């Protein structure tokens, strides 16, 4: 199976020689959901930022991030601003942890779903809105027509994340980076979002890089998983193998820290 994204020996240094990612290699097979687990500060969010060229100013990177989702393979770490704007949103999209913060409070949902469609796909206003209605319907937002004219604060937390996912999928990207998209939501809402992602993968062949600190979510959703710690990958492999037979001490403590193994079953059934 072909790898749509291969990260080779990624290292990131922030301003002031602060080395936050030491050495990360990672592969995302096409049409699969790959998980990254790790505690805060392990470098998982910065990896996502590096993949979209959204690292803080004056950060330095080394290594490669081979992207095969475009016309030809490219190293994401070497893109200039113009090329970035063709990759971002168009080929790789992102969903953030807190949809409340990630949606502009003063722009209508319609604008936020259609604005990049009009840039990337050169759609007319009408076509973009028609597609937005389909997208909102796809992520199960009730009354999509009316929702286009609403503002984010008029939706519940889970609905907001669905809107954010609709916006991310607007230009039919090949890869979706989801940075803890369910952490801010309560469990039942969380399950719905996970189910949606799995459906999207199955239907459209979307690849997903799913970042989480929740091992239950990892188990429910992903086939491959990477465990990050202090800017390094300390263990990787098939998710089930990783969680039930962890080899690394750190992974063991992570797994042991989960209250009950039974927890994992429920969202798993929901997701499949």
Partner 1 sequence: MTEPRMSEPRTPDLDADRPEQAEAEQHTDARADRILARRRWPQRLRVAEIHSIWRQPAVIAAAAILAVWVLLALLAPVLTDDPIAQSPDLYQPPSAAHWFGTDELGRDVFARVVHGARLSLPLAVVIVAFSLAIGGLVGLLAGYLGRAADEILMRLTDLVFAFPQIILAMAVAAAFGPSTRNAVIALIIVSWPIYARVIRSAVLSIRTSDFLASSRLLGVGPWQALRKDVIPNSVGPAVVLATLELGNAVLMLAALSFLGLGPRPPAAEWGAMIAAGSRDLSIWWVSVFPGLAILTVVLAFNIVGDALRDRLDPRTARGVR
Partner 2 sequence: MLLGFLLRRGVITVVLLVGVTLVSFLLIQAVPGDTMSATLSEQALQDPEIVAAYRARWGLDEPLYVQYLVYMRNVLQGDLGVSQQTGRPVLDDLLTYVPATLEIALPAMLLSLVLGVAIGLYAAVKHDRAGDHAVRAGTLIGLSTPPFWLALVVLYVFFYLLGVSPSGGRLSTWIVPPERVTGSVVIDSALAGRWDAAWDAIQHTALPVLVLTVLTVAMLVRFVRSAMLEVLDADYVRAARAKGLPTSRVLTAHVLRAGLVPVITVSGLAFASMLSGTVLVEQIFSWPGVGQYAFRSASALDVPAVLGVSLFVAVVYTVVNLLVDLAYGLIDPRIRLS
- Residues in the site for partner 1, rule: CB under 8 A? 14-15, 20, 40-41, 43-46, 49, 56-58, 97-98, 100-101, 105, 153, 157, 179-180, 183-184
Q: CA 232, CA 44: separation in Å to the nearest integer?
A: 9
Residue 6 binds partner 2 (CB under 8 A) = no
Nearest approach in angstroms of CB 57 to partner 1 is 6
Among 37, 94, 209, 211, interactor with partner 2 by CB under 8 A: 94
Structure tokens at 186: 């309560």
Chosen from partner 2, partner 1, none, partner binding at 183 (C-beta under 5 to 8 Å by type): partner 1
Residue 176 binds partner 2 (CB under 8 A) = no
Q: CA 106, CA 97: separation in Å to the nearest integer?
A: 19
For helices 157-169 and 109-120, give the axis angle rounded to 10 degrees. 10
Cβ nearer to partner 1, comparing 22 with 137: 22
Chosen from partner 2, partner 1, none, partner binding at 180 (C-beta under 5 to 8 Å by type): partner 1
Residue 96 binds partner 2 (CB under 8 A) = yes
Termini Cα distance of the chain: 22
Stretch that binds partner 2, among 113-121, 125-133, 218-226, 253-261 (CB under 8 A): 113-121
Give the CA distances from residue 10 to residues 13, 183, 195, 198, in Å, rounded to whole numbers and listed in that order: 10, 26, 31, 28
Cβ nearer to partner 2, comparing 28 with 48: 48
Residue 88 binds partner 2 (CB under 8 A) = yes
Chosen from partner 2, partner 1, none, partner binding at 88 (C-beta under 5 to 8 Å by type): partner 2
Residue 86 binds partner 2 (CB under 8 A) = yes
Cβ nearer to partner 2, comparing 86 with 258: 86
Cβ nearer to partner 1, comparing 49 with 208: 49
Chosen from partner 2, partner 1, none, partner binding at 43 (C-beta under 5 to 8 Å by type): partner 1
- List interacting residues with partner 2 (CB under 8 A): 52, 54, 57, 81, 84-90, 93-94, 96, 98, 101-107, 111, 115-116, 119-120, 151, 153-154, 164, 167-168, 171
């Amino acid at each position: 199976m072909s790898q749509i994204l291969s990260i080779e020996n990624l290292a990131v240094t922030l301003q002031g020689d602060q080395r936050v990612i030491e050495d990360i290699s990672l592969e995302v097979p096409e049409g699969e959901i790959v998980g990254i687990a790790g505690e805060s500060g392990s470098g998982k969010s910065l990896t996502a930022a590096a993949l979209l060229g959204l690292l803080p100013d004056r950060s330095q990177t080394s290594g490669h991030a081979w992207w095969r989702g475009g016309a030809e393979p490219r190293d994401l770490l070497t893109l200039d601003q113009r090329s970035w704007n063709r990759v971002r949103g168009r080929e790789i999209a992102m969903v953030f942890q807190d949809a409340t913060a990630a949606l502009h409070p003063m722009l209508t949902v319609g604008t936020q779903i259609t604005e990049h469609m009009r840039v990337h796909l050169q759609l007319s206003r009408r076509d973009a809105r028609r597609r937005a209605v389909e997208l909102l319907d796809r992520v199960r937002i009730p009354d999509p027509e009316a929702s286009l004219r609403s503002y984010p604060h008029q939706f519940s937390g889970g609905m907001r994340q669905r809107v954010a996912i609709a916006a991310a999928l607007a230009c039919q990207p090949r890869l979706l980076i989801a940075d803890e998209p369910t952490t801010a939501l309560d469990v039942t809402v969380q399950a719905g979002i996970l189910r949606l992602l799995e459906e999207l993968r199955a239907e459209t062949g979307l690849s997903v890089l799913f970042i989480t600190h929740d091992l239950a979510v990892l188990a429910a959703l992903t086939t491959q998983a990477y465990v990050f710690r202090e800017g390094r990958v300390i263990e990787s492999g098939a998710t089930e193998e990783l969680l039930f037979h962890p080899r690394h001490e750190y992974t063991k403590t992570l797994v042991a820290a989960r209250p009950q193994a039974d927890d994992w079953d429920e969202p798993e059934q929901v997701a499949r």
